[in-house]
Amino acid sequence: MNKAEDSEGSAGYYRRMQSAVEELLVLRGILTPEGIEEQVAAMDSRTYKSGAKVVARAWVDAAYKARLLDDPRTAVAELGFSVGPMHLIVIENTPTVHNVVVCTLCSCYPRMLLGVPPHWYKSREYRSRVVREPRAVLAEFGCELPTGIDIRVHDSTADMRYMVLPLRPAGTAGLGEAALAELVTRDCLVGVGLAACPTSSG
């Protein structure tokens, strides 16, 4: 699967929809063009680094991890992040279970913590194939898992979004939160990748 591929011109479709909604909001006096630009800039500034910080805290603090899995909204707020009105569910990878996230209907995604979804996440190919053949799709992302690991696919909705809590890489016992957060990638927060192993300093 080509991660960079924008299946069937979906980017053009979403741009047209965005323009139509913006025009309607301005015509009805709900928003101003300047207000829209400010909101778009704010959304574009969000990245997966927020989610990475949440994961790093969970890796070093067992009590925080328990709170994150039980009540994600409150737990992420402890670190200064808001998920808005959406219902966030954090799903934990284990040595025997690997989780992967999709939105089969469109592109629902925890933008508050992960930023703008990548093009491949919105593509029809990913949305259909990862449900039918998740192991094959993950392998195409370079995430090849042993056959004994159970792969579970979670379907996001407009009201419910998922974020994966990846396994902490081996050899990271001596790292602090900031260094651990650097090992967390966007792909592993969606489940199509694994947290990076630390590189040797030589």
Residue numbers annotated as active site:
103, 106-108
Could you tell me which residues come within 8 angstroms of residue 89 by beta carbon, excluding any fewer than 6 positions away? 72, 154, 160, 161, 162, 163
| Cα–Cα distance for residue pair 68/165, rounded to 1 Å | 9
Q: What H or E segment, with its residue span, contains residue 92? A: strand 87-92
- 102 phi and psi angles, rounded to 5 deg: -145, 160
